[in-house]
Structure 1
């Protein structure tokens, strides 16, 4: 949000435009928060709620879910796939009979332990490089099914990230070790302390080093027969080595995440369905927010005179998302039913175009009006090409009428 939005006395139902955790990495700007519930496997909005900019997801999610269930009068029939911010003992207790599916945060000690101890060989394979292992759990006094999910693609990404971190740390470790090797310590105890400290400093490396004394004769020149050199200090020698054991430990649980649900009947929610529904939620909700923040449709920042107008604008934006999502769903359904396809951005045929791309395709379509005196003599939509006509006819009579066409 751009603007001061000075805090004053506001009605209880009015949101506060203020500073909060910024997911867009703009902590310098005030903001508002929007909670959005969409239908399964689509971005069709079913519920929206504007909240103050300092409202946390952990606090607002259960309240939003409860408000939705109360409005729909169907608490036991609702099933929610929710962001991991929902997962806390208090939130799970407060939801009662509401069924939910979410990701277990890796801040939980039990989740980290389970990821480390689950071997890929003990998991059941799924398609597309996934595998799973199901376990029972109780958290916050709520009985649950936990699904430890392995993703090959995620494991490959994490391995690449790990290798980058290892190389970066190795360079830093070698530089620090060279600097330490150049130092002279007055006593062995100081050298031992420095060696022990650098051994504990690195996450993926250790130092194979030893302490050697520096000796010098008391007088310059050629030492006399039988003269004994004196120890004047101590130095560290050795090399930095990548630790195989530390790397092996870092790789444990690589590519894994944990899903949790309070639906205890596996026949009603099999593991395959749990994973599919979680992935669909991530796509549908995130696509909805991308639409709302896309400057092509609205704006990536807002400025209105007061919070009440901003709340009204968010309602209009979500209604626009509703129309957008319904149009996209209808177009994709009609393409599949008719066996037709449309060219995408690179000219490849597809049956799942986005309405964002369709809107870009329709840029340059004009309405020509010819007047004779004060009388309209002719109306015509210009620049329509076959791809435009295909889309218009697929969307049906209401859209055909807008473009002065008949089936």
Structure 2
């Protein structure tokens, strides 16, 4: 009897991802909303979405975006629960899925997925974070105007890919904006909406609060007011009226351009600062804004001020060098008219900031057209003029910049029960959503996602990316919660026991786990005690993917 050739499939951390997708019923939610058609052939839209999430969280460090190559060496029957061929995951099948997601409405469908996920994870968030970020794109994207179908109905229109305020420091490129609402406890995106590349956050945030107020309130815990945390873009007259009208709480940074904010920043009494910790000091104020009683707190950060002072000095030194070069170039320049020399001096030195001119002397040199030494009584044919300029450092520049960037900022809330320290801590938790944005922009995560040329598919891809963030955050939350609940630990990069590993670190620890198939017998190889610990904490679904207490059928 001939022995069958051994087949090795790479499982790695994909079983964790597939397990969370199954636990949160993401595939079922999509298939219920968008039933498969004859065109979908081998894959349902839910399965195609699951494939894109697996690909996105695969961390392959290669540009294999949405091709069968990624799935060629994966244990597909275990991951998908049925016989699946890698050739099915082609551009046509996945492109059709993106089109269907867009046609259904990405925000509406994502809300169904997120609502179910929050319920399954037993999260009832009373605090949410609102923010936006931009993704830059290459190429040209023509605007597509909304077409009227009837009296009230409109065809769905994709986002407008255009230039706008770039958070990626690429103002020369077109971009699309993603608005996110993130749950406070686990950092799970509870709502998402793609937007035009030139979105103005202050206007957008006001509309989000107004249009999605009921959705936000449904996510809150019983008998608990929803609290929205966001940056200064949230703080507007329109938004404050909505919060007051609907009895919602907020925490926001106050825009420094507001008249009242300017007064506080300029006229506060240094002696009134209360020391909160080694870094922060605070002065509380009670303010009435748009008919709403609010607590404003002026904070001073010694760390931020120290950091800003170093930055200002470095900027001063660079700017001083540039201005010195300008003066030296001006002194080498020759002029043929005294008036021109004075005009150029005024123009070139009017914007000096780091140097002050103490004296500017215009020197005239006679010039003769004849060769050799001129006669003593000869009159010059013309004069050339040169500047001799003395300067000194403008010491007031650094002091002025330090006053402008003094480590001062103002936070506002209508939750009058919050102490100055509690208000600061809650605002700093906004890092949850910023961490999510960094995750979405990681070069190892769907690195080619924004190379799509169809605006509709770009909008759908933003939904796929957000679902991937949901799965990642949910896994991290479950792992950390179970470690604490069971009083277990997981080794960090230094081998020390911790209870709060990142999902990414757990993923890295699951690399080099394989499925060996020999003589129709399957065996998972590479499992260690630390892997079994995580799988046992997560439960039977996850253990099954790795062949613990039974697994999927033969490949």
Q: Is the 8 A contact 2:272 2:283 kept in 1?
A: yes
Alpha-carbon distance in structure 1 between the residues aligned to 2:239 and 2:216: 20
Alpha-carbon distance in structure 2 between the residues aligned to 1:309 and 1:210: 63
Alpha-carbon distance in structure 2 between the residues aligned to 1:108 and 1:240: 38
Q: Is the 8 A contact 2:254 2:412 kept in 1?
A: no
Q: Is the 8 A contact 2:449 2:461 kept in 1?
A: no
Matched, 1:83 2:245: no
Q: Is the 8 A contact 1:115 1:253 kept in 2?
A: no
Alpha-carbon distance in structure 2 between the residues aligned to 1:307 and 1:339: 48
Displacement after TM superposition at 1:143 (Å):
4.4
User: Quick one: structure 1 residues 171 and 73, their matched pair in 2 at CA, closer, same or farther if it must change by over 3 Å?
Assistant: closer
Matched, 1:259 2:407: no
Q: Is the 8 A contact 1:381 1:404 kept in 2?
A: yes
Q: Which of the residues 165, 181, 202 maps onto 2:315?
A: 165
Show structure 1 runs of 5+ residues with no match.
224-231
Alpha-carbon distance in structure 1 between the residues aligned to 2:432 and 2:146: 37
Mapping for residues 248-327 of structure 1, pairs under 5 Å: 248-263=399-414, 265=416, 268-281=417-430, 283-299=431-447, 301-302=449-450, 306-327=454-475
User: Quick one: structure 1 residues 291 and 331, their matched pair in 2 at CA, closer, same or farther if it must change by over 3 Å?
Assistant: same
Larger mean Cα displacement after TM superposition, 126-135 or 194-203: 194-203
Q: Which of the residues 326, 346, 356 maps onto 1:206?
A: 356
Larger mean Cα displacement after TM superposition, 177-186 or 347-356: 177-186
Alpha-carbon distance in structure 2 between the residues aligned to 1:312 and 1:197: 53
Q: TM-score, normalised by structure 1?
A: 0.79
Secondary structure of the corresponding residue to residue 252 of structure 1: helix
Larger mean Cα displacement after TM superposition, 314-323 or 297-306: 297-306
Report the equivalent of 1:52.
196
Report the equivalent of 1:174.
324
Secondary structure of the corresponding residue to residue 450 of structure 2: coil
Alpha-carbon distance in structure 2 between the residues aligned to 1:187 and 1:159: 44
Larger mean Cα displacement after TM superposition, 391-400 or 380-389: 391-400
Displacement after TM superposition at 1:80 (Å):
0.5
Report the equivalent of 1:122.
272
Larger mean Cα displacement after TM superposition, 142-151 or 303-312: 303-312
Secondary structure of the corresponding residue to residue 500 of structure 2: coil
User: Quick one: structure 1 residues 17 and 192, their matched pair in 2 at CA, closer, same or farther if it must change by over 3 Å?
Assistant: closer
Alpha-carbon distance in structure 1 between the residues aligned to 2:182 and 2:471: 13
Kindly report the root-mean-square deviation, in angstroms, between the aligned alpha carbons of the 2 structures. 3.7
Displacement after TM superposition at 1:263 (Å):
0.8
Alpha-carbon distance in structure 2 between the residues aligned to 1:360 and 1:164: 39
User: Quick one: structure 1 residues 169 and 382, their matched pair in 2 at CA, closer, same or farther if it must change by over 3 Å?
Assistant: same
Report the equivalent of 1:155.
305
Q: Is the 8 A contact 1:209 1:236 kept in 2?
A: no
Report the equivalent of 1:357.
505
Which string of whole-angstrom CA distances, capped at 9 and with x for unpartnered residues, describes residues 254-296 of structure 1? 342423334162xx22111111111111x11112222233343
Show structure 2 runs of 5+ residues with no match.
1-136, 148-153, 367-372, 378-382, 551-555
Secondary structure of the corresponding residue to residue 449 of structure 2: coil
Report the equivalent of 1:144.
294
Q: TM-score, normalised by structure 2?
A: 0.60
Of structures 1 and 2, the one with the larger relative CO (CA 8 A, separation 6+) is 2
Q: Is the 8 A contact 1:118 1:253 kept in 2?
A: no
Report the equivalent of 2:9.
none
User: Quick one: structure 1 residues 185 and 317, their matched pair in 2 at CA, closer, same or farther if it must change by over 3 Å?
Assistant: closer
Which string of whole-angstrom CA distances, capped at 9 and with x for unpartnered residues, describes residues 128-171 of structure 1? 51122223445556543322222222222211210111111211
Displacement after TM superposition at 1:12 (Å):
4.9
Q: Is the 8 A contact 1:33 1:53 kept in 2?
A: yes
Q: Is the 8 A contact 2:216 2:226 kept in 1?
A: no
Aligned length: 389
Which string of whole-angstrom CA distances, capped at 9 and with x for unpartnered residues, describes residues 71-125 of structure 1? 2546981110112222333343344343221122344455455334446553211
Displacement after TM superposition at 1:325 (Å):
1.0
4+ residue runs over 6 A deviation: 183-199, 212-216, 219-223, 232-235
Secondary structure of the corresponding residue to residue 302 of structure 1: helix
Mapping for residues 381-396 of structure 1, pairs under 5 Å: 381-396=524-539
User: Quick one: structure 1 residues 201 and 9, their matched pair in 2 at CA, closer, same or farther if it must change by over 3 Å?
Assistant: closer
Report the equivalent of 1:228.
none
Larger mean Cα displacement after TM superposition, 125-134 or 18-27: 18-27
Alpha-carbon distance in structure 1 between the residues aligned to 2:287 and 2:355: 36
Displacement after TM superposition at 1:327 (Å):
1.4
Displacement after TM superposition at 1:36 (Å):
0.8
